[in-house]
A and B are shown apart, each in its own frame.
Chain A
Amino acid sequence: MNADREHPTMAEIRTNFHAELDALRADTVRLAAMVTERIPWGTEVLLTGNLSSAQELIDADDDLDVLSIEVEERCYQALVLQAPMARDLRAIVTALRLTSELERSGDLMVNVAKGMRRLYGLDIDPKLRGLISRMGEEAQRLMHVAIDSYAEGDAAKAAAIDDMDDRLDTLHKEYIQAIFECHRESSIDLEAGVQLALIGRYYERIGDHAVNIGERVRYMVTGWLPEHTGAARAAARKPQSEGIADPT
């Protein structure tokens, strides 16, 4: 800025604003990268029974919490100070929504680490180990695709995540059936079966968060609002006489 002038020009204000938007996006991607790397970390903790690594993963969640609150507050500041329009507004609202999806995904991997501590000493059945490993890979893949779609502003990639999540859902169902079988065959006791079932749910929910991120990215890129399946069904049920459905 020119030292002779007291106030920045409009062009300078816009440049600074776009630099802040870039920084917000970069920090959201950083948050997502931190979450994504915790998925294989948590799976490894679970399958190896490494207690010190589990504690590190649990402690590391504080960093995620701090960064997610920081990004959220900066989003509010950007909304207040810059009164953004159209695409810029959508970018800020998307970052705002992504922080909670990512923060909760991080919590789920903390739950996996805590679940391992409850299972400590258990020799997990090879079939269950294989399924846990595959669920971890699928959850990580979904989160990767979700965050790539955000970083690249790729609506088509974001739209594909919902279908990709079917694989994780199928694996999860297979996993629950395998737990029932193991319990019937007495290779695991009930307590272990319940803990393992809970862990499976955590992976499944990470997939759901990735799908939600995909929906937010579609909104950011195209202005498309998530037509939740239910909302679409409700609109379809309305009789023609009620007029044209709300496009939102």
Chain B
Amino acid sequence: MTAARPLRPGYAAELDQLRLQVELMAVRVDENLERMRDVLTHGDRDVAAVALAADDDIDDMSVSLTGRCYELLAREQPVATDLRFIVSVLRVLGEFERVGDLALRVVKLAPDHDLIRSNPPTFALLLALADAAVDRYRAAQRAWSATSVELAIEVIETPSIAGHLEERLMSELLVLQGSDAAAVAIRSLVAGKSLERIADHAGIIAARLLFLVTGDAGHLAHEVR
């Protein structure tokens, strides 16, 4: 007896290919998050330039994969799990791209590095916030790549340290003194808010995965606040 074969092997292969490409894009975003952390720590403008160029490639992948999703929707008219997969890909592409954009906001602060690190307590908080945001993103990325409900639930149910750190950062910034205080505070806050939102987007990626696997539209509510 021959093994059961998919009815549309080309279509199944295309879905697998799409899944792999999305994973690849997530890895590219992860690499840029690492550059972001480097730029935030050392203010290295060369690394910042590499991150800017890498983000262009991420955008390129996002546009190309979005096109492929539309093409699959039109040509294959998917239903049930396949449809949920394609629409979920459309949404997580936006989330991955947004995480990349937020990382870039931090990278673009490279010329202000001396200003940002001029106050050691808030600078230390920013570095801790970057670690927390990157960790949460990686947990969501693992959940997505493994299509793991358990990992996704863990991301959603584990309170984000990033939010707590961002609140502490805000309190510390508000007691700064001196003529540069406003410039330091506002630039540090741009970085802090961006990092906190990266952690937030990681939660949305995990919720999208839960919708993809379970079909429960209740998980979509994680995206609205």
Contact = CB atoms under 8 A, between A and B. Distances in A.
Contact of B94 (A100, A193, A248): A100
B60 interface: yes
B11 interface: no
A79 B73 contact: yes
A33 B185 CA distance: 35
A210 interface: no
A227 B66 CA distance: 11
Q: Is the interface of A mostly helix, strand, loop or mixed?
A: helix
Interface stretch (A49-57, A80-88, A152-160): A80-88
Q: Chain B CB within 10 Å — which of A93, A230, A231 has the most? A: A230
Interface residues of A, number: 44
B90 interface: yes
B73 A198 contact: no
Contacts of A198: 189, 193
Contacts of B74: 85-86, 89
A193 B63 contact: no
A157 B83 CA distance: 32
Contacts of B91: 100
A235 interface: yes
Contacts of A190: 173-176, 181-182, 185
B186 A193 contact: yes
B210 interface: no
A234 interface: yes
A179 B186 contact: yes
Nearest to B55: A230
Contacts of B170: 194
B101 to A, nearest CB: 9
Interface string A155-196: 000000000000000000000100110011000001101100
A44 interface: no
Interface stretch (A21-29, A65-73, A119-127, A137-145): A65-73
A206 interface: no
Interface string A192-204: 0110011001000
Contacts of A65: 221, 224-225
Given A227-B63, A246-B67, 11 more contacts: A65-B224, A69-B220, A76-B83, A93-B70, A93-B73, A191-B174, A193-B186, A230-B55, A230-B57, A234-B60, A237-B56
Interface of B: 53, 55-60, 62-64, 66-68, 70, 73-74, 77, 79-80, 83-84, 87, 90-91, 94, 170, 173-176, 179, 181-183, 185-186, 189-190, 193, 217, 220-221, 223-225
22 contacts: A65-B224, A69-B217, A79-B83, A83-B77, A85-B74, A89-B73, A93-B70, A100-B94, A183-B182, A190-B174, A191-B174, A194-B186, A197-B189, A198-B193, A225-B70, A228-B63, A230-B55, A230-B56, A230-B59, A231-B59, A234-B57, A248-B63
Nearest 5 interchain pairs by C-beta: A248-B67, A230-B59, A83-B77, A230-B56, A183-B182
